[in-house]
């Protein structure tokens, strides 16, 4: 009987130690998460991330700007390539208006 | 008795392990929540800071590209209008020199003089013309005065200004004290016509080309 109670007490002590160990481990898990959170919220990291996003956006926007310029350039080229004959007809209409014939 | 103790030991062990597992799981869940919350906050900061900067940058870069492109199109239009104007000027010069069989410039000049004298509306006027037209007007001054008087149904004394003016053709007419002047040069009429044609070109030719 005394031996059995001794085993029981021993087991309880072992379990208490195991729970204590789990609490320690849990504390470390939370501390590690808090450390990671501080890292995530570090102003330098945020600034760096903002800069990276802005740089990426700038590349996209510059590409878009080139496309806009190219579209206008195409229009300008089309205007400049209006056949001379067509322009001459307009010039003749203007002359008719000027001389009143 | 031994087996009862054995059962108790097993139960203590089970409960203990269960509690230890629960402590770890709760810690993991809390850790996950802490990290998720930090990530969410960081994303909000980043988005707010980057968003404003990107909006400003986008407006600046695309605005400038649009302006540059628009300027190129305007320049192309101006180039075309200048070409049209040059062609028209060239043809007017040929007309003035009598090299255009379709138009009798003398009739045109007579009409321009008559219109200008009528607009000034005085019995005595000075006519300004270029060198070549001045020579012609000088030779025909009396006939022109008579013709204009008949047209206007009152007697007009037309004098030719001593100094010729620089223009393709046509005339400028003033009353003697210079308080009334009517510009009826071909150059002026050409500018007016081109100005009117600008909108026509914009509505028709340029629109067609742009939409092609």
Whose structure tokens read 């089309």? A78
What pLDDT is stored for residue A7 in this prediction? 85
The answer to whether residue A101 scores a pLDDT higher than 70 is no
How many angstroms separate the CA atoms of B207 and B212, rounded?
8
Of B52, B46, B61, B67, give the one whose Cα is nearest residue A59.
B61
pLDDT band at B4 (very low <50, low <70, confident <90, very high): confident
Task: Give the per-residue pLDDT at B8.
Answer: 87
Which residues of chain B make contact with A16, given a CB cutoff of 8 A?
Answer: 16
Sign of CA dihedral B98, B102, B108, B110: positive
- ipTM comes to 0.77
Residues in contact with B42: Cβ distance below 8 Å, sequence separation at least 6, in sequence order: A40, A41, A45, A46, A49
Residues B43, A45: contact at Cβ < 8 Å? no
* Whether pLDDT at B52 is above 90: yes
Give the chain A residue whose CA is nearest to the CA of B5: A4
Q: What tokens were used for B202? A: 């914009």
Question: Searching chain A, which residue's CA lies closest to the CA of residue B108?
Answer: A99
Instruction: Give the pLDDT of residue B135.
Output: 95
Rounded to an integer, the average pLDDT of A57-75 is 97
| Residue of chain A whose Cα is closest to the Cα of B186 | A98
User: Given this model, what pLDDT does residue B1 score?
Assistant: 60
Which of B6, B10, B31, B56 should one mutate to test binding to chain A, selecting the residue with the greatest count of A CBs within 10 A?
A: B31
Rounded CA-CA distance A72/A40 in Å is 45
Percent above pLDDT 90 for chain B: 86
The mean pLDDT value for B17-21 works out to 96
- 3.30.2320.30, 3.10.310.30, 3.40.50.2020, 3.90.110.10: which CATH number matches B104-194? 3.30.2320.30
Q: Which two tokens stand for residue A85?
A: 């004959």
Contact call for A98 and B212, based on CB within 8 A: no
């Amino acid at each position: 009987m005394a031996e059995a109670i001794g085993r029981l007490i021993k087991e309880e002590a072992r379990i208490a130690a195991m729970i204590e160990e789990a609490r320690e481990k849990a504390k470390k898990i939370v501390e590690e998460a808090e450390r990671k959170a501080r890292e995530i919220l570090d102003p330098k990291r945020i600034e760096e991330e903002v800069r990276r996003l802005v740089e990426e956006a700038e590349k996209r926007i510059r590409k878009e700007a080139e496309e806009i310029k190219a579209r206008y350039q195409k229009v300008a080229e089309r205007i400049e390539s209006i056949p001379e004959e067509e322009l001459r007809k307009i010039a003749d209409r203007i002359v008719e208006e000027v001389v009143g014939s | 008795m031994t087996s009862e103790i054995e059962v108790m030991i097993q139960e203590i062990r089970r409960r203990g392990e269960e509690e230890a597992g629960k402590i770890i799981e709760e810690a993991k869940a809390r850790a996950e929540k802490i990290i998720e919350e930090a990530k969410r906050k960081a994303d909000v900061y980043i988005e707010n800071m980057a968003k404003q900067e990107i909006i400003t940058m986008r407006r600046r870069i695309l605005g400038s590209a649009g302006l540059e492109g628009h300027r190129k199109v305007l320049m192309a239009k101006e180039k075309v209008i200048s070409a049209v104007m040059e062609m028209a000027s060239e043809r007017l010069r040929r007309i003035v020199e009598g090299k255009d069989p379709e138009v009798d410039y003398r009739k045109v000049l007579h009409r321009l003089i008559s219109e200008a004298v009528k607009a000034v509306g005085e019995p005595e006027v000075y006519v300004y013309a270029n060198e070549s037209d001045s020579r012609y007007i000088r030779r025909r001054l009396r006939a022109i005065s008579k013709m204009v008087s008949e047209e206007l149904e009152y007697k007009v004394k037309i004098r030719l200004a001593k100094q010729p003016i620089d223009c393709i053709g046509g005339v400028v007419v003033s009353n003697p004290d210079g308080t009334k002047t009517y510009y009826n040069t071909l150059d002026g009429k050409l500018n007016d016509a081109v100005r009117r044609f600008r909108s026509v070109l914009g509505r028709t030719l340029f629109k067609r080309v742009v939409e092609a």
